[in-house]
Structure 1
Amino acid sequence: MALTILILRLAVCILASPVFLLDFLGLWNWICKKWFPYFMRSFTVTYNEQMASKKRELFSNLQEFAGPSGKLSLLELGCGTGANFKFYPPGCRVTCIDPNPNFEKFLINSVAENRHLQFERFVVAAGENMHQVADGSMDVAVCTLVLCSVENPEQILREVCRVLRPGGAFYFMEHVAAEPSTWTSFWQQVLDPVWFLVFDGCNLTRESWKTLERAGFSKLKLQHIQAPLSLELVRPHICGYAVK
């Protein structure tokens, strides 16, 4: 099985050789950063349609973590186009972080469409270093389809714990590696190198639940689900929340 995966992976990489050449020449990252927000704008519409009930369920108790004022301060990591905005409670104060500045114009459009929120600011930064956000200043942090593509998920979660107030919560919804010895796992392993390059650092085989279990939260509510998505490769998901 391992040899078959290796042979097929090599064949796929050969077919994708023009992309690897652009990456070798240092051009692909620039192209990807420009192209990816447009792809995500279309993708998140479809994803939200198929995952709407799961997102509503996930975010149904967000307001329980609001501070004494009753206002919920929320930080979204890897905010992208603002696909989660419509699921947040009215009056929520939202700060967004993303390392790609090209998302900002799409984010502004989402803010205009979601007047029930109080938008604070957009910070261009990687989640591994959110020094612009003060210690203990957030009630909730959120990331969806982000842990699959960050360079250092352990450092991301350390930063999340830093910016959350005591008793604050981290919400997540992520596609993850499929169960071993399944066809989904087989094709995830075959396609992972090309997928990683084409989709801006996204890993098909990342076991993000293990990182969350080691992060030291006082409470972790995590479930594995098969997401109702058209693409089999990304159906294995985890979702839930963790309390600092």
Structure 2
Amino acid sequence: MVLALLLRAGLQLLVLPIYVLAYFGFWDPLCKTVFPYFMSKIAPRFNQKLYREKQQLFSGLPDFAGSSGQLSLLEIGAGSGANFQFYPPGCRVTCTDPNPNFKRYLLKSVAENQHLRFEGFVVASGEDLRPVPDGSVDVVVGTLVLCSVASVTAILREVLRVLRPGGAFYFMEHVAADRSSWSYFWQQICDPTWKYLGDGCSLIRETWKDLENTEFSELNLQHITAPMNCGLVRPHILGYAVK
């Protein structure tokens, strides 16, 4: 315990300027401006490493198309649109993200994925999707989103609200490692600083528990070790849950 506290304090000292900027209220607006640029660069590499997993995960999307045969999809925390290439042709896509600075990168992805019907970008947090009517979408997608939100429970409640009966929530998230592992030890050391660098991203969320405790009629969830260079984010979950 003492060692953990010392290591965490040492890391915080190394990035002390960030903590000072955050204390005076300068870090958050700076991060909101710069973070989308870095994510637009990182996302293609993430897709390369997890291409097979994403392709397999999203291959089931057409099964949830409504009676019209066209899939209505809402992506929360869409970021730069890294998932677009995995969506089926003709899919009607609406995107939300609380950070408006992602829009320029998102529209670039839209232009590169002409097989989709893009229906708009809404600046909104996943905890408050009031612009989206009840029961109006076939599928909600969220990847690498639940790690940084204020309330996973509130987001999943909104997901259930906007999904039609029988619709599905698709997810892929990095999560906390096993609590008895060294990986979890280092996740705890790095988590406070990581949140500043990752715009609120937490390394130690056990997101699978939130999914299990939400009133989905069916939950298909898999734990995997992602082939990431950074061991802190190798533990992942992926799958889908049916309303």
If the TM-score is normalised by the length of the shorter chain, which range does it land in? over 0.9
Provide the rounded CA distance (Å) in 2 between the counterparts of 1:25 and 1:232. Answer: 32
Structure 1 residue 45: Cα displacement: 1.0
2:78 corresponds to which residue?
79
Alpha-carbon offset, residue 130 of structure 1: 0.3
CA distance in 2, matches of 1:36, 1:178: 25
For 1:18-97, list aligned pairs within 5 A.
18-97=17-96
SS in 1 for 2:109: helix
For residue 153 of structure 2, what is the aligned residue in structure 1? 154
Q: Which amino acid aligns with 2:109?
A: S
| 1:174-197 deviation per Cα after TM superposition (whole angstroms, max 9, x unaligned) | 000001121211110000000001
How many residue pairs get matched? 243
1:119 aligned residue: 118
**Structure 2 residue aligned with 1:224:** 223
- In the alignment, is residue 9 of structure 1 matched against residue 5 of structure 2? no
1 CA distance for matches of 2:229 and 2:92?
33
Alignment deviations for residues 141-195 of structure 1 (CA, whole Å, 9 cap, x no partner):
0000000000000000000000000000000000000011212111100000000
SS in 2 for 1:177: coil
Once the two structures are superposed, residues 67-105 of structure 1 have per-residue CA deviations (whole angstroms, 9 ceiling, x without a partner) of 011000000000000000000000000000000000000
Cα shift at 1:22: 0.2
Give 2:102's aligned residue. 103
- Residue in 1 that maps onto 2:133: 134
Give the structure 1 partner of residue 232 of structure 2. Answer: 233
User: 2:190: which partner in 1?
Assistant: 191
CA distance in 2, matches of 1:228, 1:119: 31
- Equivalents in 1 of 2:64, 2:127: separation in Å? 24
Pairwise CA distance, 1:38: 0.6
With the length of structure 2 as denominator, give the TM-score of the two structures.
0.99
In 1, the alpha carbon distance for the partners of 2:52 and 2:230 equals 18
Task: Give the gaps of 5 or more residues in structure 1.
Answer: none
Partner amino acid for 1:104? K
1:163 aligns with 2:134: no
Where has structure 1 moved over 4 Å in runs of 4 or more? none
Q: Once the two structures are superposed, what CA deviation does each residue of 1:115-141 show, in whole Å capped at 9, x if it has no partner?
A: 000000100010100000000000000
Q: Secondary structure of the equivalent of 1:229? A: coil
Aligned to 1:208: 207
Q: Shift of the alpha carbon at 1:228?
A: 1.4
